[in-house]
Structure 1
Amino acid sequence: MAEEWIIRRASEEDAPLLPDIEISAGAAFRTQQDLEWVADDEVWSAEEHLDWMEKGLVWVAAESRNRPVAFLITEVFGDTLHVWEVSVHHAEQGHGLGRRLMEVAEAHAREAGLRDLTLTTFRDVVFNEQFYHRLGYQTLHADEISPRLQQVLEREAAEGLPIDRRCAMRKRL
């Protein structure tokens, strides 16, 4: 049950486990028309996760044995906390772990006096844009997208993500 999960900052010992969580989480894309390839896409290595732990803020949801089953990667840009990734092991999806991780990030942003949370995601995937809408995020129109978020979207397009299916979102605090 979700009540047994512990949300905590990621540790160095977690890094080797995070790529497998990301691979497992990607399996959800096998049900998304024309996005099945995302399930087989490359994931960040343990070393890259360690780099995120050094430069950003990474949280994990861990089971009673303290083994991570989900993670959230964020980074501060000025007065904004940007969410780079939320991944929940496929077997644990639907238990509210993604929501709980996002709530921890929001609480951190509020405590740090930040003004916004931002992210980019797929528009037409129920566990993406619609999920974030339920958490209070708003999809940004083209004229509302900051230069930083525009660069993120452009980099995603260069990496092969279909730009017409991507969106930038923001939650004001």
Structure 2
Amino acid sequence: MRVDLPVLVREATAADAESIGEVHAEAFRVAHRDLFDGDWLRELVERRRTMWVHRMSGREHARNTLLVAERGRDVAAFVYFGPHSDGTSDGEIFDCFAHPDVWGRRVAATVMDKAWELLREARFRRVRLWTMAGANRARHFYESFGFTETGQRRERDFGDGRPVLEVEYVRRTR
């Protein structure tokens, strides 16, 4: 992936599903390699590689927004967001990942800036998200965008019977 090209942010289409899956899989593999057993991590990575084709055709996807950041013809990052599932006036960022080849090059920041603009326009009072406690790169990224921990914690089992601690972050839109 060429990193010297300008970044274009746009809404994802069904034709982007495989590219989004590739970004998700590679980012998840590199970012979470210390958080999961190797065999289990490989399975989780493969799930992320293929899940977007199905996710983008579901009803839930229709009420949310999926943006991609492109460099040249390559999807380099994405952010998936919408109304919070608890029915409050909050928004939620469900997924935000950038391909490791563009980490530190403001590609994820560019797509997040556009997502933030749309979340504000939608008049959400606050925006919340969950991330793994051990995902230090992601936590630093969200904190650089003004997100702060709420103090809420939960354990999430990704299917291997070994729950991972997640922390919730929040940022006010006004």
**Is this a same-fold pair by TM over 0.5?**
yes
Aligned match of 1:122: 132
Contact 2:33 2:41 in 1 (8 A): no
Instruction: Write the distance in 1 (CA, Å) between the matches of 2:32 and 2:130.
Output: 20
Aligned match of 1:23: 25
Query: Deviation of residue 31 (structure 1)?
Result: 4.8
Aligned match of 1:60: 68
In the superposition, relative to structure 1, how do residues 69 and 39 fare at CA in structure 2: closer, same or farther (>3 Å)? farther
1:125-140 map, 5 Å: 125-140=135-150
Instruction: Write the distance in 2 (CA, Å) between the matches of 1:2 and 1:116.
Output: 34
In the superposition, relative to structure 1, how do residues 128 and 39 fare at CA in structure 2: closer, same or farther (>3 Å)? farther
Structure with a larger share of its residues in strand:
2
Q: Given residue 58 of structure 1, which amino acid in structure 2 is its aligned partner?
A: L
Alignment coverage as a number of residue pairs: 161
Which of 73, 78, 81 is residue 91 of structure 2 equivalent to? 81
In the superposition, relative to structure 1, how do residues 6 and 134 fare at CA in structure 2: closer, same or farther (>3 Å)? same
Query: Deviation of residue 121 (structure 1)?
Result: 0.3
Contact 2:5 2:72 in 1 (8 A): no
Counterpart check, 1:72 vs 2:79? yes
Contact 1:10 1:53 in 2 (8 A): no
Q: Which runs of 5+ in 2 are unaligned?
A: none
Q: Given residue 120 of structure 2, which amino acid in structure 1 is its aligned partner?
A: R
The range that moved more, 110-119 or 36-45, is 36-45
Aligned match of 1:148: none
Contact 2:32 2:135 in 1 (8 A): no
Q: Which runs of 5+ in 1 are unaligned?
A: 146-152
In the superposition, relative to structure 1, how do residues 69 and 124 fare at CA in structure 2: closer, same or farther (>3 Å)? same
Percent sequence identity over matched residues?
A: 17
Q: TM-score, normalised by structure 1?
A: 0.78
Query: Deviation of residue 94 (structure 1)?
Result: 1.9
Query: Deviation of residue 92 (structure 1)?
Result: 1.9
Q: TM-score, normalised by structure 2?
A: 0.78
Instruction: Write the distance in 2 (CA, Å) between the matches of 1:22 and 1:114.
Output: 26
Aligned match of 1:149: none
Counterpart check, 1:100 vs 2:110? yes
